[in-house]
Amino acid sequence: MDRGTLPLAVALLLAGCSLSPTSLAETVHCDLQPVGPERGEVTYTTSQVSKGCVAQAPNAILEVHVLFLEFPTGPSQLELTLQASKQNGTRPREVLLVLSVNSSVFLHLQALGIPLHLAYNSSLVTFQEPPGVNTTELPSFPKTQILEWAAERGPITSAAELNDPQSILLRLGQAQGSLSFCMLEASQDMGRTLEWRPRTPALVRGCRLEGVAGHKEAHILRVLPGPRTVTVKVELSCAPGDLDAVLILQGPPYVSWLIDANHTMQIWTTGEYSFKIFPEKNIRGFKLPDTPQGLLGEARMLNASIVASFVELPLASIVSLHASSCGGRLQTSPAPIQTTPPKDTCSPELLMSLIQTKCADDAMTLVLKKELVAHLKCTITGLTFWDPSCEAEDRGDKFVLRSAYSSCGMQVSASMISNEAVVNILSSSSPQRKKVHCLNMDSLSFQLGLYLSPHFLQASNTIEPGQQSFVQVRVSPSISEFLLQLDSCHLDLGPEGGTVELIQGRAAKGNCVSLLSPSPEGDPRFSFLLHFYTVPIPKTGTLSCTVALRPKTGSQDQEVHRTVFMRLNIISPDLSGCTSKGLVLPAVLGITFGAFLIGALLTAALWYIYSHTRSPSKREPVVAVAAPASSESSSTNHSIGSTQSTPCSTSSMA
């Protein structure tokens, strides 16, 4: 057997051979007291929020989520992940996320493949990386008005208040609430819609069990009713063979525990449990007391002499236990000497990401806020350009470094002005360096091209309904440090045809629009298929696209947005559309003419039969033949006129 799996295999045998518990009648003497983080720390992921709601809005075009985040004084770091549910090949709905915070936040946002609109306060939220999503400035409203503001844009799917989160996972399309309207309620379980990890670890308490000899230690974890599966990860910093421990997990009887431990230990749980290396092997647990005193009694019955950690948690789906005690050999006092560097040390990478670059009036300006620097525990001794003689000014709450494009070692090319930000910090012997850029927008040219084939060889300014068109947006000269992206595109057909949305929120709109792979130079591409259901068909249209030049590294302050457009001619030799529904105009004209011709021949045949079968004495001159023909002609003209207004749609011809 692999040695890495040996401890857990032994744990499995110990768990299977454990005796059934028996209750203790005697009182257990064990005074639970908080223990320091150096002896044990428990972090967890939960779906319970101080206030929240989940509602269903299945027919809504826009999925709206609202997060109210409370942080302690000073900047904080937050990891926010949006995860789309599987839609069986269909594109996810557009999402509006309203982010309300009370203090400065460094935000790391992950929302790959999601058409996201983010509303936030740009003076409080700083992105560690360019978000690459559509953003909106959030008005400074109280909570009730923010909810009203969000509800005006679409029905709210979820809303939650979180206190000092470290990470948040928001699952889209997962709302299972029975409410049709989202109203905040206290102590709300968000289910699968939202899970988050508090920054502050859970309270860990410990004590020594009186009257029990030896060095066996117990780790006791209680969870409130909630998820059906709880993953427990246990990391004990003891050498193999130095530890004799028992893990006691108590919760509702329906909870299944998935245990991932790095040490051999005895397992004592309610419900069922399994090990990460044998997830399909479920072992039945026991009925355990649901009180702290009863669980301490279980620990004593299992011959534990010390309770190294006793933790009570709310609704939790993932729990991580880190402990450094080894069988009670570490004493509570004096505190152990710290052998590892503290967690709150200056991060040079994060510090450099906070430098904001602004370009205006033929000058480059770098700004670094002191509040953010202090939060990172950094001490800055200097901020300069590549030319060390160009030093930053101390303007009270920030450092400002400014230079014209013609000095301080600026490298000027046809499309870009480049330099280097150099930061000296006290905790590093070598300076930190970062490339900074300004775009020369006067030298950049944005082109919107229409092509008739996916090879993008033959440019055109004409589109034909029912024929696929291919579009490419490019910027010249190309800039390797920046990424060109399509934010939105639409086709304006004037008052006759209205506006056709093609791309919105960097996502395709409708089944007749497809985002294609970029060109070898990185130019964004897409295709669309135009169809009409009404006439007269417009003769011209305007294709407009909003593009963004985003730095591949750096802050979102360097993003540049431009709107490019081109005039298109529309020809209609064949008015068939994407779905070929209904009768088109040539078909209607053909049917009308055929009906007229058949009617005329049928009338002539009837007249011939009539004139040759009646007796000669009753024959009279015919003077009223023109009347039916005139009526038929009138009917034909009316039919042609009505068909011109509604081709390509069966429903519109009814």
Domain ranges of the chain: 50-191, 205-323, 348-441, 444-570
- C-alpha 64/C-alpha 62 separation (Å) is 6
The pLDDT, as a whole number, for residue 86 is 67
Q: Which range is least confidently modeled, 174-188, 327-341, 548-562?
A: 327-341
Domain 348-441, classified CATH 1.10.10.1100, yes or no:
no
In the chain, helix, strand, coil percent, each to 5?
Answer: 15, 40, 45
Q: Region 49-64: what's the mean pLDDT?
A: 87
The pLDDT, as a whole number, for residue 334 is 40
Q: Region 59-81: what's the mean pLDDT?
A: 87
pLDDT tens sequence across 115-152? 888 999 888 888 876 666 778 888 888 888 999 999 98
pLDDT tens sequence across 564-608? 999 999 887 554 444 334 445 556 677 888 888 898 888 888 888
- C-alpha 494/C-alpha 342 separation (Å) is 64
In the sheet with 445-451, reading across from the earlier edge strand, the strands are 459-460, 445-451, 468-476, 525-529, 513-516
Q: Given pLDDT bands bounded at 50, 70 and 90, which one contains residue 441?
A: confident
The pLDDT, as a whole number, for residue 364 is 92
Q: Region 503-524: what's the mean pLDDT?
A: 85
Write down the pTM of the prediction: 0.61
Pairing of strands 507-508, 459-460: unpaired
pLDDT > 60? residue 344 = no
The pLDDT, as a whole number, for residue 269 is 93
Which span out of 59-63, 339-343, 553-557 was modeled with the highest average pLDDT?
59-63
pLDDT > 80? residue 336 = no
Is the distance from CB of 648 to CB of 586 less than 8 angstroms? no
Q: Region 265-281: what's the mean pLDDT?
A: 87
pLDDT > 90? residue 29 = no
What's the CATH superfamily of 444-570?
Zona pellucida, ZP-C domain (2.60.40.4100)
Which span out of 500-504, 552-556, 625-629 was modeled with the highest average pLDDT?
500-504
Name the residue among 414, 437, 417, 432 with its Cα closest to residue 357.
437
pLDDT tens sequence across 413-435? 878 889 999 999 888 888 999 88
Q: Do domains 348-441 and 444-570 have the same CATH topology?
A: yes
**Half-sphere exposure (CA, 13 Å, Cβ side) for 455?**
2
Question: Percentage of residues in the chain with pLDDT exceeding 70?
Answer: 79
Write down the mean pLDDT value for the chain. 79
The pLDDT, as a whole number, for residue 370 is 87
Q: Given pLDDT bands bounded at 50, 70 and 90, which one contains residue 632?
A: very low
Helix (H, G, I), strand (E, B) or coil at 638: helix
Question: Percentage of residues in the chain with pLDDT exceeding 90?
Answer: 28
